[in-house]
Protein backbone atom coordinates (compact mmCIF):
# COMPACT_ATOMS: atom_id res chain seq x y z
CA UNK A 1 0.00 0.00 0.00
CA UNK A 2 2.71 2.51 0.94
CA UNK A 3 5.64 0.52 -0.41
CA UNK A 4 8.59 2.69 -1.21
CA UNK A 5 7.07 5.76 0.43
CA UNK A 6 8.26 7.87 3.31
CA UNK A 7 5.35 8.71 5.61
CA UNK A 8 5.34 11.10 8.55
CA UNK A 9 2.83 10.03 11.20
CA UNK A 10 2.17 12.16 14.22
CA UNK A 11 -0.21 11.18 16.97
CA UNK A 12 -2.11 13.37 19.36
CA UNK A 13 -4.09 12.60 22.52
CA UNK A 14 -7.24 14.01 20.95
CA UNK A 15 -8.69 16.25 18.27
CA UNK A 16 -9.67 19.73 19.45
CA UNK A 17 -7.53 19.45 22.60
CA UNK A 18 -5.61 22.64 23.50
CA UNK A 19 -1.96 21.92 22.53
CA UNK A 20 -2.97 19.71 19.62
CA UNK A 21 -5.16 22.46 18.18
CA UNK A 22 -2.94 25.45 18.90
CA UNK A 23 0.46 24.01 17.92
CA UNK A 24 0.76 20.37 16.92
CA UNK A 25 -1.56 20.05 13.92
CA UNK A 26 -1.10 23.69 12.80
CA UNK A 27 2.68 23.18 12.81
CA UNK A 28 2.43 20.30 10.35
CA UNK A 29 -0.01 22.23 8.16
CA UNK A 30 2.32 25.26 8.12
CA UNK A 31 5.43 23.19 7.35
CA UNK A 32 3.83 20.65 4.99
CA UNK A 33 5.66 21.94 1.91
CA UNK A 34 8.98 21.99 3.77
CA UNK A 35 8.40 18.45 5.10
CA UNK A 36 7.59 17.15 1.63
CA UNK A 37 10.59 18.99 0.14
CA UNK A 38 12.75 17.17 2.72
CA UNK A 39 11.62 13.81 1.34
CA UNK A 40 8.29 12.87 2.92
CA UNK A 41 5.61 11.61 0.55
CA UNK A 42 2.72 12.07 2.97
CA UNK A 43 1.90 13.43 6.42
CA UNK A 44 -0.68 11.67 8.58
CA UNK A 45 -2.27 12.89 11.80
CA UNK A 46 -3.65 10.15 14.06
CA UNK A 47 -5.87 10.36 17.12
CA UNK A 48 -8.17 8.09 19.09
CA UNK A 49 -11.29 9.81 17.80
CA UNK A 50 -13.94 8.84 15.28
CA UNK A 51 -13.72 9.66 11.59
CA UNK A 52 -16.30 12.45 11.84
CA UNK A 53 -14.38 14.27 14.58
CA UNK A 54 -11.12 13.93 12.66
CA UNK A 55 -12.75 15.22 9.47
CA UNK A 56 -14.22 18.25 11.27
CA UNK A 57 -10.91 19.02 12.99
CA UNK A 58 -9.07 18.72 9.68
CA UNK A 59 -11.55 21.00 7.93
CA UNK A 60 -11.20 23.60 10.69
CA UNK A 61 -7.40 23.51 10.25
CA UNK A 62 -7.39 23.62 6.42
CA UNK A 63 -5.46 20.36 6.06
CA UNK A 64 -6.64 19.55 2.51
CA UNK A 65 -3.70 18.48 0.36
CA UNK A 66 -1.30 18.77 3.31
CA UNK A 67 -2.16 16.39 6.16
CA UNK A 68 -4.26 13.21 6.04
CA UNK A 69 -6.47 12.83 9.11
CA UNK A 70 -6.53 9.28 10.47
CA UNK A 71 -9.17 8.12 12.95
CA UNK A 72 -8.31 5.30 15.36
CA UNK A 73 -11.71 5.24 17.03
CA UNK A 74 -11.21 2.09 19.09
CA UNK A 75 -7.48 2.67 19.72
CA UNK A 76 -6.61 -0.60 17.97
CA UNK A 77 -3.71 0.83 15.95
CA UNK A 78 -2.54 2.90 18.92
CA UNK A 79 -2.46 -0.23 21.10
CA UNK A 80 -0.70 -2.26 18.39
CA UNK A 81 2.03 0.41 18.33
CA UNK A 82 2.29 0.32 22.12
CA UNK A 83 1.52 4.05 22.24
CA UNK A 84 -1.69 3.86 24.25
CA UNK A 85 -2.20 5.58 27.57
CA UNK A 86 -5.10 5.13 29.94
CA UNK A 87 -6.67 8.49 30.77
CA UNK A 88 -9.96 7.08 32.06
CA UNK A 89 -9.26 8.66 35.46
CA UNK A 90 -9.57 12.06 33.79
CA UNK A 91 -12.65 11.04 31.79
CA UNK A 92 -10.85 10.73 28.44
CA UNK A 93 -10.62 6.95 28.10
CA UNK A 94 -7.75 5.29 26.27
CA UNK A 95 -5.78 7.81 24.23
CA UNK A 96 -2.56 8.01 22.26
CA UNK A 97 0.72 9.40 23.50
CA UNK A 98 1.80 12.49 21.59
CA UNK A 99 4.39 11.23 19.10
CA UNK A 100 6.12 11.85 15.80
CA UNK A 101 7.30 9.05 13.53
CA UNK A 102 9.07 8.64 10.21
CA UNK A 103 8.16 5.44 8.37
CA UNK A 104 10.43 4.80 5.41
CA UNK A 105 9.28 1.96 3.14
CA UNK A 106 7.48 0.32 6.08
CA UNK A 107 10.38 0.70 8.53
CA UNK A 108 10.28 3.16 11.42
CA UNK A 109 13.44 5.26 11.16
CA UNK A 110 12.49 7.81 13.84
CA UNK A 111 10.08 7.72 16.77
CA UNK A 112 9.80 10.56 19.25
CA UNK A 113 7.35 10.00 22.13
CA UNK A 114 6.39 12.85 24.44
CA UNK A 115 5.78 12.62 28.17
CA UNK A 116 2.84 14.41 29.78
CA UNK A 117 2.95 18.12 29.04
CA UNK A 118 5.97 17.79 26.74
CA UNK A 119 6.13 19.09 23.18
CA UNK A 120 9.46 18.77 21.41
CA UNK A 121 10.33 15.41 19.85
CA UNK A 122 7.04 15.15 17.96
CA UNK A 123 6.61 18.66 16.57
CA UNK A 124 6.88 19.46 12.88
CA UNK A 125 10.18 21.32 13.21
CA UNK A 126 11.80 18.27 14.83
CA UNK A 127 10.60 15.97 12.07
CA UNK A 128 11.99 18.36 9.44
CA UNK A 129 15.36 18.17 11.24
CA UNK A 130 15.17 14.36 11.29
CA UNK A 131 14.35 14.22 7.58
CA UNK A 132 17.31 16.45 6.77
CA UNK A 133 19.85 14.28 8.67
Q: Which residues participate in catalysis according to the annotation?
A: 20
What is the SS3 assignment for the chain? CCCCCEEEEEEECCCCCHHHHHHHHHHHHHCHHHHHHCCCCEEEEEECCCHHHHHHHHHHCCCCCCCEEEECCCCHHHHHHCCEEECHHHCCCEEECCEEEEEECCEEEEEEECCCCCCCCCCHHHHHHHHCC
Question: Which residues on neighbouring strands pair with residue 111, listed in sequence order?
Answer: 101
Amino acid sequence: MNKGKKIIIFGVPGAFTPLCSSQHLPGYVALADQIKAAGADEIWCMAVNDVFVMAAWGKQNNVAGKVRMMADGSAEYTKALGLDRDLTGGGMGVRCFRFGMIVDDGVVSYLGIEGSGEFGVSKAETLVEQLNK
